[in-house]
Amino acid sequence: METTIVDAKMSKEKIARIIKTFSLALIVIAMVSFAVSMFTVTETLTESLFTEETEEPIQVSVMGDPISGTLTGIASLRIVGGGVMSTNVSATLEILDAQGNTLFSGSNSTTVSPGEIKYLTMRFSISDIDLEALETLNASLRLGFRTFFNLIGMEFSTGLRSEGD
Amino acid sequence: MSRKNKAIISAGIYVLLLVVLPSVGLAMAPADIVQYASIIFGKGLRSIVITFSVLGIILGCLSVVRGVVKEESYVYLISGILMPVIWYYLTLYGLGFGRPGNFGRTFILMSRDGSTMSVLIDIRIILVILGFAFALEIASTLVEFLAAREKVGDTAPEN
């Protein structure tokens, strides 16, 4: 009878130790995942956007046809995978007129592995606009970098403004 | 090493990591960087360091209390529950750049040369994993406390 009580106590202490070990393991997993994910995201981000190579990371070419009132273009983003995990990169482009009305909205995404180079392209076409009267064109670009099963990431939003000639 | 010595060493580490190092770091950092960081995070770095220091002192005190009191006492249990709770709040506060309510979705607004860029950092999954870890830590303290109570009950003289 005495042995059973001692065994029960031992098992409780053992349970507490096992739970504590699990807890510590989870803390280590969280810290390692955080460090590795942040490293991957920042490496992909810096290698893609702040590269010292001659090629510009974001290239936009726009063509306008004043007769048909159509504005077509292509935006291309060069993505270089960095870090130790694959990264999902998404881009959303919104083109607005001077009054803030959305003329075009489109997005695209791709997944890059470390060391891999990919191009994220978005084609846009805006029709029935008065190109002569269009003095300013506002755009907003949102770039998302996600890793660790798309659960950890950073998203950047910035406004772009092109002045007419 | 005795429980008391371990607790005192832990308290020293808490004070060093959460009180001394952040305060020294803030004092040594250039004023313009501190000001810029405060603008970016939308919260004064000084107030973040003060929060860290206060919580560090509380953690140090709880660590000493845990080392002094008996394992079967309720003070041991309460301090054992409070410590992971404070740690979790500290994690939420630190990773949220002073905004624990955002729960891992931190929004930073940066302005330079008339252009504005916003950055959203999403690390909710890390906080969920840490939440489970700290919940397990509390469960382990409870089981430990129950085992200690049973031990005392068994060794107590019968009338």
Which residues sit opposite A119 in a β-bridge? A78
The shortest CB-CB distance from A157 to any of B118, B133, B154 is to: B118
Mean pLDDT of chain B: 89
Residue A84 pLDDT greater than 80, yes or no: yes
CB contact under 8 A, B129 and A26: yes
CB contact under 8 A, B129 and A30: yes
Q: Of residues B49 and A7, which shows the higher confidence score?
A: B49
Q: Mutate one of B71, B108, B120, B149 to test the A interface: name it (highest A CB count within 10 A).
A: B120
pLDDT class for B2, splitting at 50, 70, 90?
confident
Distance CA B141, CA A5 (A): 20
Which residue is associated with the tokens 């002192």? B57
Q: Which amino acid is at A32?
A: V
Length in residues, chain A: 165
- Domains delineated in chain A: 46-163 (2.60.40.10)
Residue A101 in 3-state DSSP?
coil
Q: How many helices (H) and strands (E) does chain B have?
A: 6, 2
Q: What is the pLDDT of residues A47-81, one digit of tens each?
A: 888 877 667 778 888 888 877 778 888 888 889 99
Q: Of residues A53 and A97, which shows the higher confidence score?
A: A97
Helices in B69-123 by DSSP H: which ranges?
74-95
Cα dihedral across residues B30, B31, B35, B38: positive or negative:
positive
Query: Which 8-state DSSP code applies to residue A114?
Result: T
Distance CA B16, CA B57 (A): 10
Residue A85 in 3-state DSSP?
coil
Q: Of residues A84 and A53, which shows the higher confidence score?
A: A84
Q: What is the pLDDT of residues B11-70, one digit of tens each?
A: 999 999 999 999 999 999 998 888 888 887 778 888 999 999 999 999 999 999 999 999
pLDDT at B159: 47
Query: Which 8-state DSSP code applies to residue B100?
Result: G
**Chain B partners of A146 at a C-beta cutoff of 8 Å?**
122
Q: Mutate one of B83, B143, B150 to test the A interface: name it (highest A CB count within 10 A).
A: B143
Distance CA A72, CA A68 (A): 11
In sequence order, what E strands does chain A have?
Answer: 58-65, 70-80, 87-96, 102-112, 117-126, 136-147, 152-163
> Distance (Å) from the C-alpha of residue B104 to the closest C-alpha of chain A?
10
